[in-house]
Amino acid sequence: MTPPLLEVRDLHVDIPMPHARLHAVRGVSLTVGAAEPVGLVGESGSGKSLTLRALLGLLPRPARIVSGTVLIDGEDVTGLPPKRLRRRLTDTMSMIFQDSLTALNPVMRVGDQIAEAPSRKLGKSRAEARAIAVDLMREVGIADPERRYELYPHQLSGGMRQRVCIAIALSTKPRLILADEPTTALDVTIQAQVLAVLRQLRQEEHVGLLLVSHDLAVVSQTCSRLYVMYAGKVVESGDLTDLVTEPRHPYTFSLLRSVPDPDRRVARLLTIHGRPPDLTEPVTGCSFAPRCPFAEHACREGEPALEPVGPGRHSACRRVDTADRWNAMVEEEAGSAR
């Protein structure tokens, strides 16, 4: 079997605080195959963005990697000397950020920003790099690329700027694109367009994608496999369709039931009470247990590990009940509350 393009093993990220240490990422393992679109879903504070940023060494200060292994094509790159590690990572991956305005250089023409990597990294001449940049702009759906090449970031709309960022990410010919909430700052009609660009890339370019988002629907538009994160850990993973139609972790289940549906009104949205645990304290028991509608006494003793629960599926929940049973329990509860 060919090793996956990217494999992360047991990643830990800490954020030192004045009087404590926040364990933001607590042992995340994930894999992304060649040309595979993978989603990483969770709420704010779940550690999803830090996981992504740790991969490229882009952690915001003072967060730091405590331990973990990164394998590219099965080769452990963590031990490489810093320069070679950086080279190896940037040759393989590039990143798209949420806020395209701060991601771009405000005093440099957008076209030149796209052409920068081809000329510096791939050693193309100015004219060649320019031609590559114009092609990339066309590819990400920027109409009239020759004219827009000359513009500065502030002269473009948010959707156009995000396309420029995607073009820059593609300019190094990466095998994997890391995207951190790439459409969250955009209006819904523009979001749809940017998602269409990402979908198209996945089909035409055979680039892998690791997409981080709080919005399951957005992730479902582009990804075929999902990791759901909660309190610094992956609590469930598997094929998108399986996970959505039959979640095996109560957090995924609750998340799906608490988001309103644009196509239908429900009598009452399911709510998740309380809030995520304070990660400066050691977590005892299942981290979701205090908020879990199905928690039993045993759930509060020892944190459950991510165990296989079906073909290609993992869940960190001791309750083996299926979503159908959970659904029934929720309906029952709602009925008695009435």
Q: Which of 215, 294, 313, 321 binds another protein (CB under 8 A)?
A: 215
Q: Residue 31 forms beta bridges with which residues?
A: 7
Return the residues of window 49-108 that contact another protein according to CB under 8 A: none
Q: Which of 270, 290, 293, 294 binds another protein (CB under 8 A)?
A: 270
Q: Smallest distance from the beta carbon of 217 to another protein, in angstroms?
A: 4
Q: Smallest distance from the beta carbon of 275 to another protein, in angstroms?
A: 6
Return the residues of window 229-268 that contact another protein according to CB under 8 A: 239-241, 244-245, 254-256, 258-266, 268
Q: Smallest distance from the beta carbon of 258 to another protein, in angstroms?
A: 4
- If 0-12 CB within 10 Å is exposed, 13-18 middle and 19+ buried, where does residue 305 land? exposed
- Give how far the C-alpha of residue 257 lies from the chain's centroid of Cα atoms, to the nearest Å: 21
Dihedrals phi, psi of 46, to nearest 5 degrees: -80, -15
Site string for another protein, 122-161 (x = CB under 8 A): ---------------------x-----------xxx-xx-
- Closest to another protein by CB, 29 or 184: 184
Q: Smallest distance from the beta carbon of 63 to another protein, in angstroms?
A: 20
Amino acid at 151: L
Does 188 contact another protein by CB under 8 A? yes
Q: Which of 76, 146, 187, 301 binds another protein (CB under 8 A)?
A: 187
- Closest to another protein by CB, 132 or 140: 140
Q: Smallest distance from the beta carbon of 4 to another protein, in angstroms?
A: 21
**How many chain residues bind another protein (CB under 8 A)?**
50
Does 190 contact another protein by CB under 8 A? yes
The two tokens of residue 154 are: 């502030």
- Closest to another protein by CB, 38 or 93: 38
- Closest to another protein by CB, 92 or 191: 191
Does 275 contact another protein by CB under 8 A? yes
Return the residues of window 297-336 that contact another protein according to CB under 8 A: none
Does 272 contact another protein by CB under 8 A? yes
Does 269 contact another protein by CB under 8 A? yes
- Closest to another protein by CB, 43 or 112: 43
Q: Smallest distance from the beta carbon of 89 to another protein, in angstroms?
A: 30
CA distance 322 to 319: 9
CB 55 within 8 A of CB 178: yes
CB 224 within 8 A of CB 281: no
The two tokens of residue 195 are: 């998602």
Choose among 160, 226, 171, 239: nearest CA to 197. 160
- Closest to another protein by CB, 156 or 309: 156
Residues making contact with another protein (CB under 8 A):
43-44, 143, 155-157, 159-160, 187-193, 195-196, 199, 214-218, 220-221, 224, 239-241, 244-245, 254-256, 258-266, 268-273, 275
